[in-house]
Structure 1
């Protein structure tokens, strides 16, 4: 297993795991319950971490995350099927489920 991301919150870590899962990259969150230990352990050691199961897919996961995490707020994607506007970090249309262009 290799660490591919350190998230600021558990919610952010779950979004990353969901994005990787949608691409068939198995991953896990470590330190999911470490927030309760803040003060006893250093802050940086209590942040949620995303690790991929297959070491060979770690590089691919990092590349996917670089694109996923660098979407500018307010950027939008139009669905080619239904024409609905979607936030820029969505991989599929919220209305019809069709895959969105990159």
Structure 2
């Protein structure tokens, strides 16, 4: 088992899991439910050690998994600012090319 992607946003980790599963890479999300524990655990403040982490089961597929995740999460669009949908006016992350709310395409 190897970790391929960690993010404090479970939605992003779940999306990465879907990418890997679509390519036939068996994986799971570690710490999937730790956000429901609240702002502190046993008196300690939140730590990034509890962030959801995507792990693959077959270490031999690590390079392919990393390539898929890197392609989708480490690009300039993902680093860009949020944008507002022209159809429904919903705010979307810079990495999205389609509005998460109505599915309309991003207009440059």
TM-score range, shorter chain: 0.5 to 0.7
Indicate the residue corresponding to 1:87 in structure 2.
97
Question: Could you tell me how far apart the structure 2 residues matched to 1:67 and 1:32 are?
Answer: 23
Which whole-Å deviations, capped at 9, do the CAs of 1:50-90 have from their partners, x for residues lacking one? 0001000011101111111134158xxxxxxxxxxx938xx
Question: Could you tell me how far apart the structure 2 residues matched to 1:47 and 1:53 are?
Answer: 19
Stretches of structure 2 that go unaligned for 5 or more consecutive residues are 81-95, 104-108
| TM-score normalised by length of structure 2 | 0.62
Which whole-Å deviations, capped at 9, do the CAs of 1:22-57 have from their partners, x for residues lacking one? 111111001011113341154211100000010000
| TM-score normalised by length of structure 1 | 0.66
Stretches of structure 1 that go unaligned for 5 or more consecutive residues are 75-85, 89-93, 95-102
Segments of 4+ moved more than 4 angstroms: none
| RMSD over aligned Cα atoms | 2.4
